Amino acid sequence: MAFFTPGPLARTLGIATMKARLFAPVAAFAVVSLALTQLSTVRAAGPEMLVYVGTYTTRGSEGIYHFRFDMRSGQLEPAGVTKGVKNPSFLAIAPDGQHLYSVAEVETLDGQRAGGVCAFAIERPGGALRKLNQQTSGGAGPCHVSLDRTGRVALVANYGGGSVASLPIDDDGLLQPIASFIQHTGQGPNAQRQEGPHAHSFNVDLNNRFAMAADLGIDRIMVYRLDVPSGRLTANDPPAAEVPPGSGPRHFAFHPSGRFAFTNNELNSTVTGFRYDGKLGVLSLIETLSTLPPQAAAADNTPAEIQVHPSGKFLYVSNRGHNSLAAFKIDADTGKLTPSGHTLSGGEIPRNFGIDPTGAFLLAANQDSGNVVVFRVDAATGALTPTGSVVQVPMAVCVKFLPLETPR
């Protein structure tokens, strides 16, 4: 069992919006405003939430599953499944809580070498999904989708195609055709996994100005300027940050302060921390640490997900193979990490996990064992303790939280 100490609540589902092109004093004020808005959202979240689970539609999986989650007991109750999308492996929920977006992680769509991105309306009160439309992702194997902080632009990473794309979203939540498509180029030293680019995630920063694309194939975090009104992307200057050769950056997470960011590296089971300049969109490497205990073999493991706890005090990484959740303490002044232990994920091949907006629960999606396991985060000790709530979800990949009632 790992031990780490969560602090006060500080973050929700990214509901607050920050304006672009902020100067430093304004940015500092915006971060404070964001924290206050987020705390208000947490208080309004209530005793129940909706939980959505994205999957690969093999081995009996039918699509996107959703559950009611009791914040008092930590119990998950099945509420339905949305069919009709192949491999909705990664999900994103709009800031207004009214729409959900998923990838369709396939290699070909409508005769073209590309996958898809799907828009759904979230129907109340039960949370059922109604499909609105689908657009091409522009490249093969889209594996990650996220939204800008206004909910007006979808950002997609195409693993198979080694590319990224941005798609505007209209007032009704419908996806519009691609506004920007950017093909990555290059390769890394791992001949089997880095023969070319493999974009694996795409995330916007707290100021909604820059978007970071972690590319496993070229050992770079590509940095793009985002123009929200047009939905267009342009390369930043400098255009990228590098990780140690052969690392294979996978997913990416910003610290709630906006001063630090982190990526987990799939190919060598490490995590890399950066200082972040939000005015310039510049990432500066701090350090790289193992996600495994000393006795574990990195060759038998590949990290999957990385997230910062809402308090900003802790970082979590899921380890596939070791089947654990690694935890690190984050130094508030320097952004440096201190390993604080590992907790078994409760299944085989943990992929994405979700931390609820209050920081009280962590839900781990275990792909090969086909389950989602609920852990309570003890407010006094920080230990992860299974609640006993385990639900079966075939080929579970991604977990997203949504308050049952959208905060006002």
pLDDT single digits (tens) 218-240: 999 999 999 999 999 999 999 99
Q: Which helix (H) or strand (E) holds 37?
A: helix 24-44
Amino acid identity at 11 = R
Q: Which residues contact 246 (CB under 8 A, 6 or more apart)?
A: 188, 189, 190, 194, 219, 267, 268
d(CA 152, CA 135) in angstroms, rounded, equals: 15
Of 274 and 29, which is predicted with more confidence? 274
pTM: 0.89
d(CA 106, CA 395) in angstroms, rounded, equals: 15
pLDDT digits (tens, 9 = 90+) for 144-153: 999 999 999 9
Q: Please determine, for residue 291, whether its predicted confidence score (pLDDT) is greater than 60.
A: yes
- Integer CA distances (angstroms), 275 to 141, 244, 258, in order: 31, 16, 9
d(CA 265, CA 285) in angstroms, rounded, equals: 14
pLDDT of residue 405: 67
d(CA 211, CA 236) in angstroms, rounded, equals: 9
Question: What is the rounded end-to-end Cα distance, in angstroms, of the chain?
Answer: 38
Residue 281 half-sphere exposure toward CB, CA atoms < 13 A: 25
pLDDT of residue 117: 98
Q: Which helix (H) or strand (E) holds 142?
A: strand 142-147
Find the length of the chain. 408
pLDDT of residue 383: 80
Share of residues in the chain with pLDDT > 70 (%): 87
pLDDT digits (tens, 9 = 90+) for 330-346: 999 999 999 999 999 99
Count other C-beta atoms under 10 Å from residue 59's C-beta. 11
Average pLDDT across the chain, whole number: 89
d(CA 254, CA 274) in angstroms, rounded, equals: 9
d(CA 182, CA 139) in angstroms, rounded, equals: 10
d(CA 249, CA 338) in angstroms, rounded, equals: 20
Give the gyration radius of the chain's Cα atoms: 19
State phi, psi for 392 to the nearest 5 degrees. -85, 125
Q: Please determine, for residue 18, whether its predicted confidence score (pLDDT) is greater than 60.
A: no
